[in-house]
Amino acid sequence: MTEIEYFKPERGQRPGANQDPRLDWWREAKFGMFIHWGVYSIPAGVWKGEHIPGIGEWIMLRAEIPIPEYEKLAPQFNPVKYDADQIVKLAKAAGQKYIVLTSKHHDGFCMYGSEETDYNIVDGSPFGRDVLGELAAACAREGVKLGLYYSQTQDWHHPNGFGNTWDFDADEQDFADYIDNYVKPQVREILSNYGPICIIWFDTPRIIERHQSQELLDLVHSLQPDCLVCGRLGNKLGDYATAQDNAIPPDLQAEIDWETPATINDTWAFKTHDHNWKSTTQLIQNLVDIVSKGGNYLLNIGPDAEGAIPEPSIERLLAMGAWLDVNGESIYGTLPGPLQGYEGYRTTRKGDTVYLHVFDWPPSGSIALPGLDASSASWLDTSCDAPLSLSRVGGQLMIQAPAEAPNEHVTVIRLER
Ligand code: FHN
């Protein structure tokens, strides 16, 4: 079993990969921006002077913070640096074609004006602005699609939500009531008040029952038929499969539509002491690796308590965008390429054109490829004028290139039949 099977919708629920036309834009897009942002960005991993291990948005559970104490964060939440246009422009500059924002994470605080609870950014914080509404407007202005994360099972603030064992007695909770009378009305709100929503990104299904997942799926599709639902809805339902966090399957997954959600450092929400940033090269190689196996990459940012995006995230995203400006033809709208499982190389394709991505540049500049055929080879980067020649030796395609890699991250060679 590969790691992504856990969140894989059942066959037959939806047609297989490349068949359901509602996913056409998503298959073309390949690269999205995830945003984890909420009141947990205030403690940013530190509670009462103690570093709390684990991902930042889980601080309430990890430190077992009682609701009345955790609730005190809301009146402190005043993210004056929040600038929806800046976020959307960053996503565009990075080459990310869709954005998914946490409308409600497991801590229960809502990043939009909800009629179902005052525990939301409009009614419960001094900021008083509808963060989601502003992002939706900026996305519409910039032509970027907007999706919403919504924690359907875990809610550590709601008396009937799942997961808060320190304030509530699970035996006395009514989870069905929470789904019917809180989750469904909130899903209705986020799909009715903010224009077209491209994805509802449910998460951690845990105890949700099959009929409840099905009812949520039907509700989403009844409100916005084109809205996709990720595989973490649970019970093998949803429109596409979701890999485990940061997990890239070892092989081609041609039979399904799938996505890897991923962090740039080790946390989703902002943490002051997480400086374990992945390199730009690693992030670009992850994107290429995922796309070469048929998936999408949903790469996260975690704005801080003021709404500022961490500088190391901005730097890396802009560098990815610069690489995509030159090499995007080998990513967007492509299919997995013919050469799979060949260490140091990845391939994608469009029609008869194969894009060879070289991760580990051979010191000699000689590239030997088994099982590939081509009559011409060229650099995808048109500013590169180094010589490139093609020959066939035995059963192998031989490319002779310069000894030094033309691109510091991943070099792309276009092969034509
Ligand atoms: O528990 C969440 C976590 O906080 C985060 O939102 C990630 C994103 O994929 N999903 C869950 C863990 O898998």
SS3 content of the chain, % helix, strand, coil (to 5): 30, 20, 45
Q: What is the pLDDT of residue 18?
A: 66
Q: What is the pLDDT of residue 15?
A: 45
Phi, psi of 348 (to 5 degrees): -130, 170
The rounded distance, in Å, linking the Cα atoms of 373 and 394 is 12
Ligand 1 pocket, Cβ-based, cut-off 6 angstroms = 55, 57-58, 203-204, 245, 261, 268
Give residue-wise pLDDT tens across range 35-78: 999 999 999 999 999 999 999 999 999 999 999 999 999 999 99
Atom of ligand 1 nearest to the CA of 36: 6
Phi, psi of 415 (to 5 degrees): -115, 130
Query: Ligand 1 centroid to 24 CA: how many Å?
Result: 26
Query: Ligand 1 centroid to 33 CA: how many Å?
Result: 14
Query: Ligand 1 centroid to 352 CA: how many Å?
Result: 38
319 in Cβ contact with 355 (< 8 Å) = no
Q: What is the pLDDT of residue 19?
A: 80
Atom of ligand 1 nearest to the CA of 34: 8
How many other C-beta atoms can be found within 10 angstroms of the C-beta atom of residue 136? Answer: 23
Query: Ligand 1 centroid to 365 CA: how many Å?
Result: 42
Supply the residue whose CA is at minimum distance from atom 10 of ligand 1: 203
**Residue to probe by mutation, ligand 1, list 156, 268, 298, 301, most atoms within 8 Å of CB:** 268
Q: What is the pLDDT of residue 12?
A: 44
pLDDT < 70 stretches in the chain: 1-6, 10-18
407 to each of 143, 174, 317, 340, 362, how far by Cα in Å?
A: 30, 57, 17, 22, 13
**Residue to probe by mutation, ligand 1, list 109, 245, 297, most atoms within 8 Å of CB:** 245
Q: What is the pLDDT of residue 28?
A: 97
Give residue-wise pLDDT tens across range 317-358: 999 999 999 999 999 999 999 999 999 999 999 999 999 999
Atom of ligand 1 nearest to the CA of 149: 6
CA atoms within 13 A on the CB side of 190: 34
Q: What is the pLDDT of residue 401?
A: 97
- The two three-digit tokens of residue 242, written as one number: 């979701």
Return the closest-CA partner of residue 191 out of 150, 239, 242: 150
Helix (H) / strand (E) element for 288: namely helix 280-292
DSSP 196-241: ---EEEE---TT--HHHHHHHHHHHHHH-TT-EEBGGGBTTBSSBE
The rounded distance, in Å, linking the Cα atoms of 200 and 227 is 7
Question: 345-350 and 353-358: which strand pairing?
Answer: antiparallel
Supply the residue whose CA is at minimum distance from atom 1 of ligand 1: 204
**Residue to probe by mutation, ligand 1, list 33, 36, 55, most atoms within 8 Å of CB:** 55
Give residue-wise pLDDT tens across range 17-33: 668 899 999 999 999 99
Helix (H) / strand (E) element for 378: namely strand 376-379
Query: Ligand 1 centroid to 203 CA: how many Å?
Result: 7
Q: What is the pLDDT of residue 1?
A: 34
